Structure 1
Amino acid sequence: MAEELKLFRTWSSPYSLRVVHALKIKGLKYETILEDLKNKSASLLEYNPTYKKVPVLVHNGKPICESLLILEYIDETWKQHPLFPQDPYQKAMARFWAKFGDDKVLPSIWSVFISQGKEQEEAIAPAAGNLKFLEDLLKGKKFFGGETIGYLDLAFGWMANLISILEEIIDLKLIDPENFPLLSAWMNSFSDDPVIKEFWPPRDKMVEKFKAMREPYLQRTA
């Protein structure tokens, strides 16, 4: 019997893109259901009643939620083109740094993006400090996973697309080749991979979306 795979996502969600890229790397066929989060479908609410968020991967009727958990499920279910390292310690470290990315790196970058003036200046140092950890993590490697794209690259993949968009909007360089040569090179290598590049959302629409997302924060601090 043919396997049924459905992915509930939005067109712009960086978390959803992790799953899209993983499915593509694995060579898996799936159905995409694009959601409007202002008018969520009954199916999304049924499959993820706890958080009511995307992405949700539905495999033969069984839903898996949360992007990093979905990546693990995909890698354990389909063994071709492994995403995780095989060594248990390296696997644990990959999980650790992925969580660091979501818990520390992303919020610190976001704090720079939604602020201005003195508040923005104060937000830059913590963001740069978090990025330095990632710079050090790349020493001696092309990708976080080694010579090929793996779990941790997909976990950090949002940076390769989203940071340049945020930089354009706030007219501020967060990652430059001088201060972050390895991270800059990784962003280019990741973005230029044919599998990755194929699914980036339209840049002009992303700029428009994130400009609109930033505006309410600026109004509160004006």
Structure 2
Amino acid sequence: MAEVKVFGAWGSPFSRRVEMALKLKGVEYEYIEEDLANKSPQLLQYNPVHKKIPVLLHNGKPIVESLVILEYIDETWKNGPSILPKNPYDRAMARFWAKFIDEKCLPAVWKACWGAGEEQVKAKEEAPELLKFLDKELKGKKFFGGDSIGLVDIAANFVAYWSVIITELVGLELITNDKFPNLCTWMEEYVNSSFVKEHLPDREKLAGNFRARFLQTK
């Protein structure tokens, strides 16, 4: 039996992506919780470039960066539903939107909530413009990939769950039904699907962590 380990952090959306993908595929794994303020020698050994979680260790070989790991999981374990579409064009589009979420949407939403000064003002203007693209992409769809959860949905877990908690905490009205009806419908569908709901971090615990962080910045 293959040895699979995940080095992660319970409240990290990136770490949760990997766990959800493994569970979607029915892969058994050992989870190792990292203290991000005091990273273990193992984490630094397996991810010396970025020194971040998550890290997937498969038979002693480390794979890093959550989107890369998701593709690795899909290609390595054929059992269970596919995470990426089979069609080459659809696969390319899934990669595009997942990258768009990581490189554009997440930083803008984060800075709109936690930024300061001009950076925050700019992010509050930029984030809704970026989210419009996601809303448009979801028109007429249940999930980004169609009728089932796939790469882009898993990549967008921060938008669906974490961002709601953070924006409520800081008092920012960002993703509303009148502005983003398709995105809001997807968020509701995604977080309430039995599989996803089972593997999300506890809301109160997550809110408590963010609340403590928010107070530190005041």
Shorter-chain-normalised TM-score: which range?
Answer: over 0.9
Letter in 1 for 2:213: M
CA distance in 1, matches of 2:77, 2:156: 22
Letter in 2 for 1:145: G
Task: Provide closer, same or farther for how the CA distance between residues 82 and 175 of structure 1 changes in structure 2, counting only shifts above 3 A.
Answer: same
- Asked if the contact 1:105–1:127 (Cα under 8 Å) also holds between the matched residues in 2, the reply is yes
Cα distance in 1 for residues equivalent to 2:105 and 2:118: 20
Q: How does 1:47-58 map to 2 (within 5 A)?
A: 47-58=46-57
Contact 1:113 1:214 in 2 (8 A): no
Q: How many residue pairs were aligned?
A: 217
Alpha-carbon distance in 2 for matches of 1:195, 1:203: 16
Structure 2 counterpart of 1:8, which letter?
F
Give runs of aligned pairs for residues 28-177 of structure 1, distance below 5 A.
28-80=27-79, 81-115=81-115, 120-177=120-177
Q: Give the TM-score taking structure 1 as reference length.
A: 0.92
Aligned residue for 2:14, secondary structure, equals helix
The more displaced of 45-54 and 138-147 is 45-54
Distance 1:49 1:118, change over 3 A: closer
User: For the structure 1 residues 130 and 60, does the alpha-carbon distance in structure 2 shift closer, same or farther, using more than 3 Å as the test?
Assistant: same
Q: 1:46 to 1:186 in 2, by over 3 A?
A: same
Distance across 2 between alignment mates of 1:38 and 1:164: 25
Read off the aligned partner of 2:5 and give its amino acid letter.
Answer: K
Q: CA deviation at 1:198?
A: 1.2
Q: Secondary structure at the match of 1:187?
A: helix
Equivalent residue number for residue 191 of structure 2: 191
CA contact (8 A) 1:111 1:120 kept: yes
Residue equivalent to 1:26: 25
The alignment partner of 1:178 has SS state of coil
CA distance in 1, matches of 2:88, 2:12: 30
- What's the secondary structure of 2:31's corresponding residue? strand
State the shift of 1:180 in Å.
0.7
1:151-193 deviation line (CA, Å, top 9, x unaligned): 1101111111111111211122211111111100111111011
The root-mean-square deviation of aligned C-alpha atoms, in Å, is 1.7
* 1:79 match: secondary structure: coil
AA aligned opposite 2:50:
Y
Q: Structure 2-normalised TM-score?
A: 0.93
Q: Hey, what's the Cα distance between the residues in 1 that align with 2:171 and 2:187?
A: 19
Flag structure 1 segments of 5+ consecutive residues without an equivalent.
none
- SS of residue matched to 1:32: strand
Contact 1:57 1:70 in 2 (8 A): yes
Compute the displacement of 1:118 (Å): 7.8
SS of 1:204's partner is helix
Residue 137 of structure 1 aligns with an amino acid whose one-letter code is E
What SS does the corresponding residue of 2:63 show, helix, strand or coil? strand
Q: Deviations over 1:126-170 (max 9, x none)?
A: 100000000011011100010000011011111111111112111
Structure 2 Cα separation of the partners of residues 121 and 33 of structure 1:
38
Corresponding residue number in structure 2 for 1:3: 2
Q: Label 1:119 to 1:3 Cα distance change in 2 as closer, same or farther (>3 A).
A: closer
